[in-house]
Structure 1
Amino acid sequence: MKKFGSFSGKITMINDFLIDQSGMGLGCYKLMSVENDDGSIVNFVISPDTYFVDRVTVRVGDKVTGYYDANAPVPLIFPPQYRALVMVKNTPYQNVKVDYFNGELISSDNTLRLILSPYTMIVLENDQFFNRIPINRNLIVIYKASTKSIPAQTVPYKIIVMC
């Protein structure tokens, strides 16, 4: 079970990122700087394995949220640099939650409970159907509205199972 951290803001820079001295991966890895409204900056390392929700292409100026493994080791540099696991281009009327959901489909931080419907699309990261109940797994949940209860409840329109 991963503990996910997140950071939201506006993309201020996207550059190629060299991961080794051979130069073999040049162009395959990117360094993306994101600045929030308070002026805090985070650099995300974008790899070929980074999952972009809705397979969108992002550009400088886009508002995004990056999710990373909060328990993974990170270099002690400023600004902080995280390996992005999931990137979301923020759009109106769409909410995204990346977290571990238990056997009752409640997120690890107890802020969201999922109510599945026959119309909830449940897929793997490669867009193939997942034909089981997605309990006790790391999930990317895409939904529109939720209740104001604790935990909030929602009927997601799409769930991506992170295997």
Structure 2
Amino acid sequence: MVSFLSFSGTVTSISDFPIGQNAGSEGCYTLFTVDNGYGNIVNFVVSPTTYFVDQSIVAVGDRITGFYDANAPVPLIYPPQYRALVMAKDHPYQNVKVDYFNRQLVSSDGMLQLNLSPNTPIVLQNGQAFRGDPANRNLIVVFGATTRSIPAQTTPYKIIVLCP
């Protein structure tokens, strides 16, 4: 099971990331260096399968949040290098959470509960409508304001279902 963690900061560099001797792979993988402004730096390996929320184009100087699998193996180097599963460009009044949501639509960390409305778009990563139940799945949730309760509650702007 994927255990999502995130790291937020400013993109300080974007460079090609060679993945070995595979012909035709040059330019397909990139390395995003992200600095959180507090002395912590992370390198995200961005692959063709990395999902970019709202298909945002990221450039040096943009504030982003990268989501990665905390259970995935990583090389023991500094700065840490994670394979980005989801990237979200920061926008005012918009939050993004990537997590497993249970049958009550509460995130695995117990910090966010989703209240769906009939107008909440629920889609697959390819943009097509999702016709199943979003409960008990890994979801990308795009939302705005929340209540001040624990868990915080929100009616999402959009839900993207991460199918296995």
TM-score between the two structures when normalised by the length of structure 2? 0.98
- SS where residue 84 of structure 2 aligns? strand
Name the residue aligned to 2:135. 135
- Residues 107-156 of structure 1 deviation map (CA, whole Å, 9 limit, x = unaligned): 00000000000110000000000012200000000011100100000000
Structure 2 distance, partners of 1:37, 1:148, is 27
Deviation track 1:32-65 (CA, whole Å, cap 9, x = no partner) reads 1000020210000000000000001000000000
Cross-structure match for 2:20? 20
Matched letter for residue 75 of structure 1? P
Task: For 1:59-138, list aligned pairs within 5 A.
Answer: 59-138=59-138
Partner of 2:34: 34
Q: Which amino acid aligns with 1:135?
A: A
Structure 2: 5+ residue runs without aligned partners? Answer: none
Corresponding residue pairs, total:
163
Alignment root-mean-square deviation, CA: 0.7
What does residue 156 of structure 1 align with? Answer: 156
Could you tell me how far 1:157 is from its partner in structure 2? 1.4
Q: Percent identity?
A: 65
* Separation in structure 2 between the aligned mates of residue 153 and residue 66 of structure 1, nearest angstrom: 23
Deviating above 3 A after TM superposition, structure 1's stretches of 4 or more consecutive aligned residues are none
- After TM superposition, the score normalised by the length of structure 1 is 0.98
Query: Which stretches in structure 1 are left out of the alignment for 5+ residues?
Result: none
